[in-house]
Structures are given as C-alpha cells and as structure tokens.
Amino acid sequence: MKRQIISFFTAALILICTFSLNGFSVGDVIDFSRDGVTLYAGQEYQLKMKSGAAVEFFTSSDPEIVSVDDNGIVKAVSTGISTITAADPNGNQAFCTVTVKGGTSPEKVVLEKSFITLTEGGSQTLNAKVLPEDAPDLRLHYFSSDESVAKIDENGNIRAVHSGTTVITAESSSAAVYAMCSVRVLSKKGRTGFEASVSGSLFTIAGDKKSNMIVVIKNANDTVESKTDTEGKFSFDSISQGSYNISVYKSENDKEPAAAGQLYVGSNHMDVTCIINGKDIVCLFQNENTGTASVNEVYLAKGSIELNVGSSYDVVFRVHPEDAAVPKMIGRSTDEDVAVVDSDGRITAVSEGNTTVIFKSSDGRFEKYCLVKVNAPEKNTGSWMIITIELSVIVLIIVLFSISYRRFNKRKENSERISETVKDRGETE
C-alpha cells in the first residue's frame, strides 16, 4: 500500500513539474521590436520580434483595417487602428498597435550619406529629407539598432559611444518609407597620431565610372566604408596612416568582393584613382616602375590568390613612398608541384593544392608572401554522359526485344496447341 502511495505522489510530482515547465517559460517572453507603427492605406510592413523570438501565429483585432499573414507582414487596408497579436508555442503573447492613415503618403527618404565612420566620442549630423517635398507630413524619426555603439537624437545628431557597427534608420511618418545608414565607430586604442583623409574615384579599366559601389578599406585596427556617387567618387575621413586592404562590393549584401587590392594611406590628404582590372584594384597614385625616393615598404596588390590548374596570375607590387622605385623581387614557391613562379613574378598553377610563394627583394630588405590555392580541373563529364545514354538505350532495346520474343513464343505455343486440338478432333471424327 505504501509503495502505491509513493508511486502516486511521484507521478503527481512529475506531472506538476511538467505542467509548470510547459506553462511558464521564464526569460523567454516574446516582444515586438516596436510597440506601434503608422502606415498609410495600401502599404505593407514587416513586423519584427526582439531577439528573433519564435512566433507560432499572428492575429489582427480588426482585419478590415489591418491584415497580417503567417510571416508577420501587415497590410494597411483602411483608416483606423488595429492591434496585432503574436503568440509563441508556449502561449506567451506580444502586442503591436498599427495605426492606418488616409491621404498622401511620403514616397521616399533620401540620405546625404549611406556610410559614416566615427571615432569613439565623435559626432556627426545625419542629413536626411522626405520626398516629395510637398508631402503633407515631412517629419522624420530616427532609430539606432545598437545604442551601445552609437546614439542618435530627434534632430539626426549621431554620437559615437563604443567601437562597433550599428544601423541608423531615418523613418518618415510611415513606417514603410525609410532609409538606413551604416555607422562604423572606431576605437581610439591602437590608432596612430597621424590621420589623413582620402578622396578617390573608381573606374573600370575601360574608363567607365563605377557608381553605387561599396568601397571598404581595412587593416588590423580600422575598417572603414564608403559608397561611390554617380561620378564614381568616394571619400574617407580621419583615416590612420598605414597599409590597408581595399575591396569593392556591388551591394551591401554581397559577401565576396567584386575586386580587391591594397592602399597605403599617408599622413596628409590624398587623392587616388582606383581602377578595377578583373578581380584586382590598381591604385594609380602609386608609382610602380620609376622613382627617386628610397623605398620604405613593399607590399603585394593581393596577398592570396585562387587559380585553376593551368591558369596564371601576374603579381603586382606596390611601394611606399609613392615616388619610390619598385625593387627587384625574386620569388620561389614552397611547393612547385602545386604552382611555380617565374622571374617576372608570374605564378602558374600546376596541380590541385596549396602553396606559398615567397618574394624577396634583391637587396634582402623586404620579404612578402602570397598564398596560392589551386583548384582541381573540372571533370569532363560530357563523354561519360554520352556513354551512359548509349548504354541505357542498348539496355532498353534488349529489354524490349526480350519482351517481344517472349510474346512471340507464347503466341507460337498457343497456335501449336490450337492446331493440335483441331487435328485431334478431326481424327476422332
């Protein structure tokens, strides 16, 4: 009897604990990133949850004013106010009030800059405006995705707080009409006392201006971004002196650059013309072959390359100062079965694998490394595909012939049986 009572209470305790854990999820309460948004009739807006909380379903208190789908996209149907409710699998709920206005909606928010770089403690005003300029409501509201990095006040004044990256959103009177600016805050630590500004232009090797491209320069201490205008121009302010990797992206969402190279920033303002040549960026303000000043630094246009078997790459060297001559650089490959290098700095891929090409100046002052990855040659699957198809056809013919032959034999046997039956009947008669 005692054992039954103990078993009963044990089972009850387990059920109570299970119910408690399922019914209460401490610290896992969902919430919208915003308590309320304003839209104009006909507009759509994606509601967002804090910390990417999982949502089982969304509902609208008045679908005739605002509808919502399973992904949290709301559509303003008619003027009025509706409350959107989100619920997670544990039954926790969050609420967002959507106000729908009538009349003319703003069409666009325009920013003077899409990228801003600041140093900790620095500040800058984000200039933005609503279009069309005769819209009934030209007010803007500003938000920072990470106020621990940078804050922005109601007038668009940005204040850098701590090193990192944040996104500033300038939103019109409609939550569906906005523009975003990426803000990079650099740490004061590790920066040299020499700072300069860079004004540049980006072109293709054919001389075409490259507009709306993302230009990124990066080294161990700094990462700075800019965006080319309609004339292909870009600029960087308050850049520390030193060598940078420079990369160009076609859009903010691209993970791999369209082209890359190296850039040396001096202690004064610099004007540079960058030319995209295939996957390489060449900075024309640097002198490659002639010069009178002594060389302080030599570096590679690309510190790592990727080749296919049989292809080649001509190594490009840069120097500082820019009016110095490029010294003679002699290269050797640590694994010549993978790639070889000639006296002119041309690297040729031999077989699949990885190797390092080491370049040393003839006077022994400089030594640079280029990492080389060689991809395996693409397999020619065309002939195998043809053979496979031919074999399949042959097998199909054999199968069809076998089926036809069996049917023929069966018909022959039936015919012989009928003949024998007829013969037997005749003899009997």
245-262 pLDDT, tens digit each: 899 999 878 888 999 988
Phi-psi region of 52 (alpha: psi -120 to 50; beta: other; left: phi over 0): left
Q: Given pLDDT bands bounded at 50, 70 and 90, which one contains residue 12? A: very low
* Cα 166 to Cα 368: distance, rounded to the nearest angstrom: 36
The beta-strand segments (E) located in 219-311 are 223-227, 233-240, 242-249, 259-265, 270-277, 280-283, 297-300, 304-308
The predicted structure's pLDDT at residue 3: 43
Which of 332, 378, 377, 386 minimizes the C-alpha distance to 355? Answer: 332
Find the helix or strand (DSSP H, E) in which 167 lies: strand 164-171
* Cα 43 to Cα 99: distance, rounded to the nearest angstrom: 12
Find the helix or strand (DSSP H, E) in which 16 lies: helix 2-23
Q: Stretch 18-28: mean pLDDT, rounded?
A: 39
Find the helix or strand (DSSP H, E) in which 333 lies: strand 329-333
| CA distances to 52, 154, 292, 359 from 364, in Å | 55, 59, 19, 10
| CA distances to 57, 62, 72, 86 from 91, in Å | 10, 21, 17, 9
* Cα 382 to Cα 394: distance, rounded to the nearest angstrom: 19
Least confident among 129-143, 171-185, 193-207, 246-260: 193-207
Q: Does pLDDT of 359 surpass 50?
A: yes
The rounded mean pLDDT for the chain is 79
The predicted structure's pLDDT at residue 286: 43
* Cα 260 to Cα 280: distance, rounded to the nearest angstrom: 5
How far apart are the two ends of the chain, measured CA to CA in Å?
A: 95
Least confident among 60-64, 311-315, 384-388: 384-388
Longest dimension (CA), the chain: 128
The predicted structure's pLDDT at residue 376: 80
Which of 283, 301, 257 minimizes the C-alpha distance to 202? Answer: 283
84 vs 299, more confident: 84
* Cα 165 to Cα 149: distance, rounded to the nearest angstrom: 6
In DSSP terms, 317 is beta-bridged to: 300
Contact 313, 279 (CB under 8 A): no
* Cα 137 to Cα 179: distance, rounded to the nearest angstrom: 16
Q: Does pLDDT of 307 surpass 80?
A: yes
Rg, Å, the chain Cα set = 36
Q: pTM score > 0.75 for this model?
A: no
User: For residue 76, what are its two tokens?
Assistant: 């303003």
Q: Residue with structure tokens 């690309």?
A: 302
pLDDT in tens, 316-333: 877 776 666 677 788 999
Strand, coil or helix: what is 306? strand
Q: Residue 401, CB half-sphere, CA atoms under 13 Å: how many?
A: 6
User: For residue 131, what are its two tokens?
Assistant: 């279009």
Which of 141, 160, 157 minimizes the C-alpha distance to 149? Answer: 160
* Cα 286 to Cα 137: distance, rounded to the nearest angstrom: 50
Q: Does pLDDT of 99 surpass 50?
A: yes
Phi-psi region of 231 (alpha: psi -120 to 50; beta: other; left: phi over 0): alpha
pLDDT in tens, 112-156: 887 787 878 888 899 999 998 888 888 899 989 888 999 999 999
**Dihedral in degrees, nearest 10, Cα atoms 236, 242, 243, 248:** -10
Q: Stretch 339-363: mean pLDDT, rounded?
A: 87
The predicted structure's pLDDT at residue 52: 65
What residue type is assigned to position 168 of the chain? I
The predicted structure's pLDDT at residue 9: 40
The predicted structure's pLDDT at residue 189: 56
Which of 389, 347, 392 minimizes the C-alpha distance to 371? Answer: 347
The predicted structure's pLDDT at residue 410: 76
